[in-house]
Amino acid sequence: NKTTLLFISHDLSIVRYLADRVMVMYLGHVVEMGSTDQVFQPPYHPYTEALLSAVPIADTKVIRKRIVLDGDIPSAMNPPPGCPFQTRCRWKSQVPGGLCEVEMPPVQELAGGHQIKCHLSAKILAEMEPVIKIAAE
């Protein structure tokens, strides 16, 4: 009880086991934050979505949609303008007016303290599919 642990990892399967609350960062920016249950189910920040798709799963009843990040990895010393993830985001084309390239995304407050820093509309976030599903028997 009342124990705090700062655990930094790209392996979200370990994070899920250890944490009650999760903060996802990309290029030094917090892009998603919430309880473990909130962060591990849609809607996700696009970077969280990619990290979850990389979780190794041996169970044959689990279906995983693998998302491979394309695009350039931006320089931390000379980051691009706008969203720090915009050079690799597969959802960027869903945001009108090239907003991702020019403006830092706002924090969107979702249910129960779940926060996502993204220009995607609430409608698109609500329609996001899980990357990990249990197969129908």
74: domain CATH number is: 3.40.50.300
C-alpha 129/C-alpha 16 separation (Å) is 19
Parent domain of 16:
12-134
> What is the rounded CA–CA span in Å between residue 34 and residue 48?
12
Read off the pLDDT band of 5 (50, 70, 90). Answer: confident
Q: Tell me if 6 is assigned to some domain.
A: no
The domain total for the chain is 1
Q: Could you give the CA distance from residue 137 to residue 135 in angstroms, rounded to a whole number?
A: 6
Domain presence at residue 4: no
Domain assignment present for residue 93? The answer is yes
Whether the Cβ atoms of residue 116 and residue 107 lie closer than 8 Å to each other: yes
How many angstroms separate the first and last alpha carbons of the chain?
39
**Does some domain include residue 7?**
no
**Does residue 98 carry a pLDDT above 70?**
yes
In the structure, what pLDDT confidence band is assigned to residue 4 with cuts at 50, 70 and 90? confident
